[in-house]
Amino acid sequence: MRILPWGFILGFWTASADAYTANKVAFEFLQNGQYRVTVNYTVPELKEFRESYVIFSRKKEAESFYWKLVRGADFYPDDPKLVRFIPPKTKPTPW
């Protein structure tokens, strides 16, 4: 009986629930030969402004991540290298 409530709750969990859209993105070359992409974003539920960064060892991967965020991709703070473009809704969702 305990499995049913958790299954019901997890059934409504979506991958985009933890995704955020970047407000500002910066690309930096570090002295040790690595690349850092800094992301500023807002958590709407908390109305809180946050900043995170991802360090890459390859320039190509860093630039790819940077340009995806600049173009509006959503990212996941738990797995920052995972990005997703979510298409905008074309019509309202009915009640």
Instruction: List pLDDT tens digits, range 62-93.
Output: 999 899 888 888 887 777 667 776 676 777 77
| Count helices and strands in the chain by DSSP H and E runs | 2, 5
What's the pLDDT at 77? 72
For the segment 9-53, what is each residue's pLDDT rounded down to a tens digit? 444 444 445 677 788 899 999 999 999 999 888 887 888 888 888
Domain residue ranges of the chain, discontinuous segments joined by +: 18-82
The structure's pTM equals: 0.66
Residue reference for tokens 């996941």: 76
